[in-house]
Structures are given as structure tokens and as C-alpha cells.
Amino acid sequence: MKWDWIFFDADETLFTFDSFTGLQRMFLDYSVTFTAEDFQDYQAVNKPLWVDYQNGAITSLQLQHGRFESWAERLKVEAGLLNDAFINAMAEICTPLPGAVSLLNAIRGNAQNRHHHQRL
């Protein structure tokens, strides 16, 4: 059977996604020890931004920058650079969930090979 499109919400569907560990790894490059309290503060900003994004109230760029604005001010770097560093850190630590690779191999060639949008 051939499908036109197959969509996945990749994080925690195809691979592990531990944003706390990713943020800890990212902030090491800035000589910052990222704590559980820092993560709670980050989530207090990040979660509402995701709701706004899903409701179409903000763009992906606004989400990407907004979640790191306070850290950008503290570290005197651009929020976009922090977001890029976070994405890179997550790429380093994410691992496929059991069965994900075999699933993707099984459906390979049965749908168009394009991604919907870049991961935030």
C-alpha cells in the first residue's frame, strides 16, 4: 500500500525527548549549571508559548526566541542562538524509541519523502 503522507509527532513517538537534559547540556557551553528550578522557570514560559503557537497566535520563530529571551538577556547572546544550541544539544542526546527504526524502515518508500516543517 502507498500513502501520500504519513505524519508523526516525533518526540516521544519516534525518539526520546528529555528537554531538561538537553538544556543542561546546552548551558554547559555557557558555563551555566542549569538546575531543576531553572527548568521549572523555563517550562513556565515555554508551555504557554506552545499553546499560543498551536492556536496560531504566534509564529514558530516567536516561540523559538520567546522561550529563551530571559536567558539571552542574562547571557548577552541572541535568543535565536540559544534556540539553535538547544536543538543541537537535543540532536546529540535523543535516541530512537524501541521499534521506531524498524517502523520507519517498514514504511520507507510507501510515502513521499518530505518533512512538514522544521522541528522547533
In sequence order, the β-bridge partners of residue 96 are: 15
pLDDT in tens, 8-56: 776 667 877 799 999 999 999 999 999 999 999 999 999 999 999 999 9
Q: Report, as residue numbers or ranges, the catalytic residues.
A: 9
> Is residue 47 included in any domain, yes or no?
yes
Domains in the chain, number? 1
Average pLDDT over residues 80-107: 90
Average pLDDT taken over every residue of the chain: 88
Distance CA 58, CA 46 (A): 13
Query: CATH no. for residue 74?
Result: 1.10.150.240
Residue-level pLDDT at 62: 98
> Is residue 2 included in any domain, yes or no?
no
Average pLDDT over residues 71-76: 98
> Which residues constitute the domain of residue 86?
19-107
> Is residue 56 included in any domain, yes or no?
yes
> Is residue 116 included in any domain, yes or no?
no
Q: What is the pTM of this model?
A: 0.77
Distance CA 20, CA 34 (A): 8
Rounded to 5°, angle at Cα 87 from 55 and 69: 65
Residue-level pLDDT at 13: 76
